[in-house]
């Protein structure tokens, strides 16, 4: 490779795991950022080595990136195990890449910094603010109801996504990068810097200098991550009005770190911390505005009375020290605790005979009319059935019906795709209906909205009660009481269970077969059971 021996001898070897690819627009700039990391590693007395990894761009991976989150987590861990690496900078940011890279790094437990890809710039169309994902869905409905033309739709799309970087809304990407920033796994405030800003290049370079220092300090994820860091992360999640996907990823991360964290912990915190971040889909602004308003440090300073400030971080300082001097420059974008963005919380954990191990809903993006609702079920047995029948003019559906989708969970789909915001039937769209109560064992994109009960556990494919719902059954949701009920007797439910037969796994080869065998349910983080057991794997023998 043309290196002189003294260029690398006796220097810490810094891995740069890069999820750049030509099929990941969110990560289009990460090749350049790897160069910025490298130049700082060299300058700081380290030896940088770049390691490409699965890119997982949300928009172009079929059937869902969630199927491959665990693949990337394993890849990151094994890349670090099998190569002579002393510390690592993780380049990612699109939804699943943040939890995946960190799950791997936590299990490997060598010094690690997460370098977030950063959000894309604001979208504007005809004077209106447009947010990636949120407005895709909104205007898709307008296109389907004939209120905008195909030409307008194409024009709108190009103006919504103006630069490289992750979605400019509070989707899963910004939710997860902000949470791990609050947990101390990025340089302080790094998650809010827009991808196209020169400050983003400087942040990447700073990751390079800091990781070399972390080697000499031997500062590892296990020295940073405690239950308090995770609880800070959950508090940040609620104040962000973040994506429901975070509930799954946080549990997966906690289990890798041997920290106890449950859905119930999140529900308790969701009742205490309102949405303070005025960003789509819960609010009105975008990530670029959030950055100008002071970004994550400003949000955390508004939240500081609720946080444990003595938690450690990759900066080598505590969270409290990292927040010194943080200021908010726009109190409409980043609200104070006594002036939340909306009534509803970012998350509510539901239970009942339909979801014995829990389900989630995002009240902050649901219709107030449906927060307490009882209606008759229309059941779709799988996604193909949904797509075949949802727009059928003969479908017996009203705005009060409850749309139910099953076989869309971790094992059933497989991969738990973002099918949970079931489309509103075309004939109801034409009548002006824009939200309905929807239920599934699937997930929902963090950029989407609606009264969607998600992550029902256990999922239908393993015999969860969702498998037993029939057309016309009454279903009752009461978010205030955290209740989700199938209104039939226990006896009837039991009788139906006797006749239920498990669907056979649809795929019996390759990675997907392994996935279906080992994936856990949503309340356990959907990690593989063989990766969650907290055992340290021995170092490979060298000879």
* Interface stretch with ligand FES, choices 42-50, 167-175, 389-397, 473-481 (CB under 6 A): 167-175
Examine residue 161 and tell whether it contacts ligand FES (CB under 6 A): no
Examine residue 171 and tell whether it contacts ligand FES (CB under 6 A): yes
Nearer of residues 195 and 349 to ligand FES, judged by Cβ: 195
Examine residue 194 and tell whether it contacts ligand FES (CB under 6 A): no
Nearer of residues 221 and 283 to Mg ion, judged by Cβ: 283
Examine residue 418 and tell whether it contacts ligand FES (CB under 6 A): no
Q: Which does 21 bind (CB under 5 to 8 A by kind): Mg ion, ligand FES, none?
A: none
Nearer of residues 57 and 425 to ligand FES, judged by Cβ: 57
Examine residue 131 and tell whether it contacts Mg ion (CB under 5 A): no
Q: Radius of gyration over alpha carbons of the chain, in Å?
A: 23
Q: Which does 445 bind (CB under 5 to 8 A by kind): Mg ion, ligand FES, none?
A: Mg ion
Comparing CA positions, the residue from 379, 357, 381 lying closest to residue 458 is 357
Classify 439 as helix, strand or coil.
Answer: strand
**Buried residues in 200-225 as b, exposed as e (16+ CB within 10 A):** bbebbbbbbbbbbbbbeeebbbeebb
Comparing CA positions, the residue from 371, 380, 384, 527 lying closest to residue 453 is 371
CB of 473 to ligand FES, least distance (A): 36
Rounded CA-CA distance 92/20 in Å is 8
Examine residue 267 and tell whether it contacts Mg ion (CB under 5 A): no
Neighbouring C-alpha atoms within 13 Å toward the C-beta of 16? 29
Rounded CA-CA distance 162/259 in Å is 39
Examine residue 196 and tell whether it contacts ligand FES (CB under 6 A): no
User: In this chain, which of 101, 156, 173, 437 binds ligand FES, going by CB under 6 A?
Assistant: 173
Examine residue 93 and tell whether it contacts Mg ion (CB under 5 A): no
CB of 132 to ligand FES, least distance (A): 6
Restricting to residues 90-129, which ones interact with ligand FES according to CB under 6 A? 94-95
Alpha helix locations (H) across 197-294?
198-217, 221-224, 227-240, 245-256, 263-272, 287-292
CB of 19 to ligand FES, least distance (A): 11
Q: Is 522 exposed, middle or buried (0-12, 13-18, 19+ CB in 10 A)?
A: buried
* Interface stretch with Mg ion, choices 20-28, 75-83, 90-98, 335-343 (CB under 5 A): 90-98
Q: Which does 166 bind (CB under 5 to 8 A by kind): ligand FES, Mg ion, none?
A: ligand FES
Restricting to residues 283-302, which ones interact with Mg ion according to CB under 5 A? none
Q: Which does 221 bind (CB under 5 to 8 A by kind): ligand FES, Mg ion, none?
A: none
Contacts by 428-434, CB closer than 8 A, 24 or more apart: 428/397, 428/398, 428/399, 429/141, 429/144, 429/145, 430/145, 431/399, 433/399, 434/141, 434/367
Examine residue 457 and tell whether it contacts ligand FES (CB under 6 A): no
DSSP 81-105: HHTT-SEEEEEE-STTHHHHHHHHH
* Interface stretch with Mg ion, choices 170-178, 286-294, 336-344, 469-477 (CB under 5 A): 170-178
Rounded CA-CA distance 417/445 in Å is 9
Beta bridge partners of 114: 90
CB of 171 to Mg ion, least distance (A): 4
User: In this chain, which of 55, 164, 445, 532 binds Mg ion, going by CB under 5 A?
Assistant: 445
Whole-number Cα distances in Å, 76 to 21, 106, 182, 304: 16, 10, 22, 33
Q: Which does 461 bind (CB under 5 to 8 A by kind): ligand FES, Mg ion, none?
A: none
Rounded CA-CA distance 10/90 in Å is 23
| Cis amide linkage into residue 63, ω under 30° from 0 | yes
CB of 99 to Mg ion, least distance (A): 12
CB of 166 to ligand FES, least distance (A): 3
Examine residue 167 and tell whether it contacts ligand FES (CB under 6 A): yes
| CA-angle at 284, arms to 456 and 192, nearest 5° | 80
Note the Cα 334 to chain centre separation in Å.
Answer: 21
CB of 514 to Mg ion, least distance (A): 24
Restricting to residues 37-76, which ones interact with ligand FES according to CB under 6 A? 57-59
Nearer of residues 47 and 290 to Mg ion, judged by Cβ: 290
Q: Which does 348 bind (CB under 5 to 8 A by kind): ligand FES, Mg ion, none?
A: none
Whole-number Cα distances in Å, 241 to 78, 106, 189, 417: 34, 26, 18, 21
Strand order in the sheet with 452-453: 355-361, 348-352, 483-486, 474-478, 372-380, 402-405, 437-440, 452-453
CB of 445 to Mg ion, least distance (A): 4
Nearer of residues 167 and 361 to ligand FES, judged by Cβ: 167
Q: What token pair was written down for 405? A: 């989708």
Which residues neighbour 152 within 8 Å (Cβ) at sequence distance 6 or greater? none
User: In this chain, which of 111, 119, 123, 171 binds Mg ion, going by CB under 5 A?
Assistant: 171
Determine phi and psi for 261, rounding to 5 degrees. -155, 130
Examine residue 26 and tell whether it contacts ligand FES (CB under 6 A): yes
Examine residue 55 and tell whether it contacts Mg ion (CB under 5 A): no
User: In this chain, which of 18, 19, 161, 172 binds Mg ion, going by CB under 5 A?
Assistant: 172
Q: Which stretches of the chain bind ligand FES, using CB under 6 A?
A: 26, 57-59, 94-95, 166-167, 171, 173
Q: Which residues bind Mg ion (CB under 5 A)?
A: 58, 95, 171-172, 445
């Amino acid at each position: 490779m043309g290196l002189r021996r003294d260029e690398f001898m006796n220097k810490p070897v810094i891995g740069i795991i890069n999820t750049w690819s030509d099929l990941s627009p969110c990560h289009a700039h990460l090749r350049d950022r790897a160069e910025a990391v490298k130049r700082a590693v060299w300058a700081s007395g380290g030896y940088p080595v770049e390691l490409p990894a699965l890119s997982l761009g949300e928009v172009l991976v079929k059937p869902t990136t969630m199927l491959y989150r665990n693949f990337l987590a394993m890849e990151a861990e094994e890349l670090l195990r099998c190569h002579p690496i002393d510390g690592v900078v993780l380049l990612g940011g699109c939804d699943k890449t943040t939890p995946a890279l960190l799950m791997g790094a936590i299990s490997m437990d060598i010094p690690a910094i997460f370098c977030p890809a950063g959000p894309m710039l604001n979208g504007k169309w005809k004077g209106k603010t447009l947010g990636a994902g949120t407005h895709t869905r909104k205007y898709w409905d307008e296109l389907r109801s004939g209120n905008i033309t195909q030409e307008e739709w194409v024009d709108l799309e190009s103006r919504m996504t103006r630069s490289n970087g992750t979605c400019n809304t509070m989707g899963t990407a910004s939710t997860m990068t902000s949470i791990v920033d609050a947990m101390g796994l990025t340089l302080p405030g790094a998650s809010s810097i827009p991808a196209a800003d020169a400050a983003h290049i400087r942040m990447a370079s700073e990751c390079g200098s800091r990781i070399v220092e972390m080697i000499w300090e031997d500062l590892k994820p296990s020295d940073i991550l405690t239950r308090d860091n995770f609880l800070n992360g959950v508090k940040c999640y609620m104040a962000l009005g973040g994506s429901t996907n975070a509930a799954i990823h946080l549990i997966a991360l906690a289990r890798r770190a041997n920290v106890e964290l449950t859905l119930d912990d999140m529900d308790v915190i969701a009742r205490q911390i309102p949405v303070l971040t005025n960003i789509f889909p819960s609010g009105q602004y975008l990530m670029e505005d959030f950055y100008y308003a002071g970004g994550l440090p400003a949000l955390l300073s508004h939240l500081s009375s609720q946080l444990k400030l003595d938690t450690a971080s990759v900066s080598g300082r505590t969270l409290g020290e990292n927040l010194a001097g943080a200021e908010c420059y726009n109190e409409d974008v980043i609200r104070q605790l006594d002036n939340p963005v909306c009534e509803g919380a970012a998350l509510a954990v539901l239970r009942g005979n339909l979801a014995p191990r829990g389900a989630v809903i995002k009240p902050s993006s649901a219709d107030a009319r449906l927060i307490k609702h009882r209606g008759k079920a229309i059941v779709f047995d799988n996604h193909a059935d949904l797509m075949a029948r949802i727009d059928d003019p003969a479908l017996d559906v009203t705005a009060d019906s409850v749309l139910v989708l099953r076989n869309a969970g971790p094992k059933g789909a497989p991969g738990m795709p973002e099918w949970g915001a079931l489309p509103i039937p075309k004939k109801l769209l034409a009548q002006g209906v824009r939200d309905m109560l929807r239920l599934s064992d699937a997930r929902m994109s963090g950029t989407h909205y609606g009264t969607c009960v998600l992550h029902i556990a256990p999922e239908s494919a393993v015999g969860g009660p969702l498998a037993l719902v029939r057309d016309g059954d009454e279903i009752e949701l009461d978010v205030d009481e955290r209740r989700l009920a199938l209104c039939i007797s226990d006896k009837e439910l039991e009788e139906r269970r006797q006749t239920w037969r498990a669907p056979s796994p649809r795929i019996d080869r390759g990675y997907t077969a392994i996935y279906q065998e080992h994936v856990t349910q949503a309340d356990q983080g959907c990690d593989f059971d063989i990766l969650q057991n907290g055992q340290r794997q021995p170092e490979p023998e060298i000879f």
